[in-house]
Amino acid sequence: MTDGSAQDAGATGPAPGAGVRVILADDQALLRGAFRTLLDSADDITVVGEAGDGREAVALARRLRPDVVLMDIQMPVMDGLAATAEICAEPGLRATRVLILTTYETDEYVAQGLRAGASGFIGKGIDTDGLLDAVRTIADGETLLSPAATRSLVARFLATPAEGPPREPGRLEALTPREREMVALVATGLSNVEIADRMYLSPFTVRAHVQRAMTKLDARDRAQLVVIAYQTGLARADHGDDGGPT
């Protein structure tokens, strides 16, 4: 049950350079308190606000402009998926990333969360180091999709009647063949290092290709590249046993 009030860490948040600024959105005050304690234990992460429902989370994000919103899905007033969609659609919050809290990574919320604009997913049972690493990864513009979450995406994305055939195939025309290849590999959940190993390239070269593709496709992060890959038909829900694109 929500505690019915949003909380700020300060009127204007920490000063620039204070590290990663985080808003916690969960209807359970006890769980928010636990996550705040874990996050505040890091010198480079500061919790700047708490919200008990999705509507409060959107309002706080607009006011505080955090680097990361740690978002629960099941909340009253507005659920976490709707709140994520509002935050990610806000032009002034383009630099804000949403990290979704899930109970089961393999459920339908993974695909729904990506469509809404989420940058990653973590389970509520995550340990301290995993939580801190996840927040830093998302704040750095990377995507946090575990193999389980990626399998869920592949199994469900474009597999529902609402999705229909691939959309906007012409959107990829701005990409070079190499950039298309990189986006297809990103869509399988591979990291830059894993792509580099597979393609016999340096991680720096892979990162450069991925970043250029993001710029050309106006993608806010790697998670949006995954969405675009499926929407355009570059990646499909049926792939080989090796996990590569088809």
Rounded Cα–Cα distance for residues 52 and 49 (Å): 10
What is the span of the domain harbouring residue 33? 7-155
**pTM for this predicted structure:** 0.69
Which pLDDT belongs to residue 177?
92
Rounded Cα–Cα distance for residues 106 and 120 (Å): 13
pLDDT tier for residue 119 given thresholds of 50, 70 and 90: confident
| Percent with pLDDT over 70 in the chain | 76
Rounded Cα–Cα distance for residues 120 and 100 (Å): 6
Q: Are both 110 and 190 inside the same structural domain?
A: no
Residue 244 lies in a domain: no
Rounded Cα–Cα distance for residues 151 and 158 (Å): 13
Q: Are both 63 and 105 inside the same structural domain?
A: yes
Under 8 Å between Cβ of 6 and 31: no
Q: Are both 144 and 201 inside the same structural domain?
A: no
The whole-number average pLDDT for the span 95-105 is: 82
Q: Is 128 helix (H, G, I), strand (E, B) or coil?
A: helix
The domain spanning residue 227 has which CATH number? Answer: 1.10.10.10
Please write the tens of the pLDDT for every residue from 231-244: 788 876 554 434 44
Q: Are both 12 and 125 inside the same structural domain?
A: yes
| DSSP3 helix / strand / coil % (the chain, rounded to 5) | 45, 15, 40
Q: Are both 199 and 143 inside the same structural domain?
A: no
Instruction: Considering only residues 148 and 224, tell me which one the structure prediction assigns the higher pLDDT.
Output: 224
Q: How many structural domains compose the chain?
A: 2
Q: Give 85: exposed, middle or buried? Use CB within 10 Å, 0-12, 13-18, 19+.
A: buried
Half-sphere exposure of 26 (CA within 13 A, CB side): 19
Q: Are both 79 and 124 inside the same structural domain?
A: yes
Rounded Cα–Cα distance for residues 10 and 49 (Å): 8
Q: Are both 41 and 138 inside the same structural domain?
A: yes
Q: Are both 143 and 201 inside the same structural domain?
A: no
The whole-number average pLDDT for the span 44-64 is: 96
The whole-number average pLDDT for the span 85-101 is: 92
| Percent with pLDDT over 90 in the chain | 39
Q: Are both 106 and 224 inside the same structural domain?
A: no
Please write the tens of the pLDDT for every residue from 188-223: 777 788 899 999 999 899 989 998 998 898 887 777
pLDDT mean across residues, the chain: 79
Q: Are both 125 and 197 inside the same structural domain?
A: no
Instruction: Considering only residues 33 and 105, tell me which one the structure prediction assigns the higher pLDDT.
Output: 33
Under 8 Å between Cβ of 119 and 145: no
Residue 116 scores a pLDDT above 60: yes
Q: Which amino acid is present at 163?
A: E
Residue 1 lies in a domain: no
First to last CA, the chain: 45
